[in-house]
Amino acid sequence: METPAELRYTTDHEWVRLDGGLARVGITDFAQSALGDVVFVELPAVGLEVTKGDRLGEIESTKSVSEVYAPVAGRVGEVNEELSSAPERLNEQPYGQGWICVLEVSEAAVDEAALLDAAAYEKLTATD
Q: pLDDT truncated to tens, each residue of the chain (128 aa)?
A: 889 999 999 999 999 999 888 999 999 999 999 999 999 999 999 999 999 999 999 999 999 999 999 999 999 999 999 999 999 999 999 999 999 999 999 766 677 778 999 999 999 998 65
Rounded to whole angstroms, how far apart are CA atoms 49 and 99? 18
CA 42 vs CA 56, 83, 115: distances in Å = 9, 9, 24
Containing H/E element for 118?
helix 118-127
Q: Which of 113, 8, 23, 111 is nearest to 75 (CA)?
A: 23
Q: Which domains does the chain have, with CATH numbers?
A: 8-100 (2.40.50.100)
Span 77-111, pLDDT tens digits: 999 999 999 999 999 999 999 999 999 997 666 77
